[in-house]
Amino acid sequence: MFWKIKTCLAGALLLPAIGATELRNIMYLTNQHEIFPGDTQTAPVTHVAMSFMRPHVFNRPEGSHDWPAMWQTVEATRAQFRDGVKVLIAIGGWGDTEGFSDAARTAEGQKRWAANVAAMVKDTGADGVDIDWEYPGGNGEDYKTVPNEEKAWEIEAYPKFLGEIRTALGANKIISAAVPGKVGDMLAFTADTLPTIMQHVDFLNVMTYDMMNRRDNVTKHHTGVKLSIEALDAYIDRGARAKDLNLGFAFYVKWFKTQHEPCLANPIGCPTVLMEDPETGADLGQAGAFAWADQTPDWLSASWQAALTWGKYDPDDGSYYHWDENLDVWWTFDTARAVRNKFQSIVRSKGVGGVFAWELGSDGPQFSRWQALNKGVDFANRHHSQKHEL
Ligand SMILES: *[C@@H]1O[C@H](CO)[C@@H](O)[C@H](O)[C@H]1NC(C)=O
């Protein structure tokens, strides 16, 4: 199996033009990390999403063309990737939901927001937008302080909101949405709403990461294969086509404090400590994340080295993990091999139309996941393209 991949990649010297049968390969970009890989112009990236503009910006009266400056222009981003790459502006992100709620509340507000976004897309020269509302219907960062019942109206409003964005942008611009990877967070993505949602968007970026977070009380793989398949299946069962879904990859590492005794026999699925305040939802400092490009917190650095050296692949799932029994820390992250394996175990087996990663600069300075992702995409484009033809 592995030699086959190697043989095929050896022949992958010519980069084809971006074609309709290619897997989508989408990179979120921020300016949070200085290092950038040297091969972006030859990598099989189809879209990049510059993150973030804030949603509240588009609630102002129409007619202004004064948009928040990003760290570089759309044109500068375009020039960093191969010809034909689509550049999207991502709007929102974790914790930034209020501007969306304000916009979506009334038909008038939806139209105004959509018209402003269309003007921004025209003025910046972008190819479209990625709507990162986390999440319509609730379970966002404020879920303890603003109960989901107060956001229940958003479940019906969300597809209409997307419809207004489509009307304002027209058929030729791209609209994508970043959507939850945990089934419990898919409040606005039901069998009733999803068919309409899919009429308005080009594709969904299913955030198949952070599937273990501080709200959990047992250890899980945050980018787990089984959890990813469960997420994709939920969207498919509720009315999305597999080829309109993209599988998410995380270019960062997560750790969680666990209990000790109950984890000795098997650290997979064993109890954590309490990681968030049950009243306020505040972070209790018992879990964290860092980018590959970041410094590891000092107190964790020996544990982190152990996780890199002694981690294992869960035979039941394929995901990489390590449990440090000295500090009682659960480590969960993707290695390059874990990325590679997902092309067979998820991308191909579910027939999804693409992959995406949060976020490119985070994978430096080695860019091992980035390279594995590109190899997987190249391989799929050469061997399985018929699967994605319309
Ligand atoms: C985790 O939380 C769930 C739901 O509140 C509860 O039923 C379960 O017993 C808890 N598990 C552990 C190991 O604490």
Output the domain CATH number for residue 77: 3.20.20.80
Q: Using N-to-C axis directions, what is the helix angle for 154-169 and 107-124, rounded to 10°?
A: 40
Residue nearest atom 14 of ligand 1, based on CA coordinates: 217
Is residue 305 lining ligand 1, measured as CB closer than 6 Å?
Answer: no
Is residue 217 lining ligand 1, measured as CB closer than 6 Å?
Answer: yes
Ligand 1 centroid to Cα of residue 212, in Å, is 14
Ligand 1 centroid to Cα of residue 217, in Å, is 6
pLDDT at 354: 98
DSSP character at residue 348: I
Ligand 1 centroid to Cα of residue 260, in Å, is 17
Ligand 1 centroid to Cα of residue 220, in Å, is 13
Beta-carbon contacts of 63 under 8 Å, excluding residues fewer than 6 positions away, are none
Kindly state whether residue 7 falls inside one of the protein's structural domains: no
Is the preceding peptide bond at 158 cis, omega within 30 degrees of 0? no
Kindly state whether residue 120 falls inside one of the protein's structural domains: yes
pLDDT at 389: 45
Is residue 262 lining ligand 1, measured as CB closer than 6 Å?
Answer: no
pLDDT at 18: 72
Is residue 218 lining ligand 1, measured as CB closer than 6 Å?
Answer: yes
The whole-angstrom separation of Cα 235 and Cα 230 is: 9
The answer to whether residues 323 and 331 touch, using CB atoms and an 8 Å cutoff, is yes
Is residue 273 lining ligand 1, measured as CB closer than 6 Å?
Answer: no
Kindly state whether residue 145 falls inside one of the protein's structural domains: yes
Kindly state whether residue 172 falls inside one of the protein's structural domains: yes
CA of 218, closest atom in ligand 1: 13
Kindly state whether residue 294 falls inside one of the protein's structural domains: no
Pocket-testing residue among 182, 216, 217, ligand 1, by greatest number of atoms within 8 A of Cβ: 217
- Count the domains in the chain: 1
Residue nearest atom 4 of ligand 1, based on CA coordinates: 217
pTM here?
A: 0.94
3-state secondary structure of 50: strand
The residue segments making up the domain with residue 163 are 24-252+335-389
Kindly state whether residue 98 falls inside one of the protein's structural domains: yes
Is the preceding peptide bond at 359 cis, omega within 30 degrees of 0? yes
pLDDT tens per residue across all 390 residues of the chain: 333 333 334 334 445 557 778 999 999 999 999 899 999 999 999 999 999 999 999 999 999 999 999 999 999 999 999 999 999 999 999 999 999 999 999 999 999 999 999 999 999 999 999 999 999 999 999 999 999 999 999 999 999 999 999 999 999 999 999 999 999 999 999 999 999 999 999 999 999 999 999 999 999 999 999 999 999 999 999 999 999 999 999 999 999 999 999 999 999 999 999 999 999 999 999 999 999 999 999 999 999 999 999 999 999 999 999 999 999 999 999 999 999 999 999 999 999 999 999 999 999 999 999 999 999 999 999 986 554 444
CA of 217, closest atom in ligand 1: 1
The answer to whether residues 331 and 221 touch, using CB atoms and an 8 Å cutoff, is no
Kindly state whether residue 4 falls inside one of the protein's structural domains: no
* Residue 128 one-letter amino acid: G
pLDDT at 17: 59
Kindly state whether residue 274 falls inside one of the protein's structural domains: no
CA of 271, closest atom in ligand 1: 13
> What are 249's strand-pairing partners?
357
pLDDT at 4: 35
Residue nearest atom 9 of ligand 1, based on CA coordinates: 217
CA distances from 149 to 61, 78, 95, 182 (A): 29, 42, 18, 19
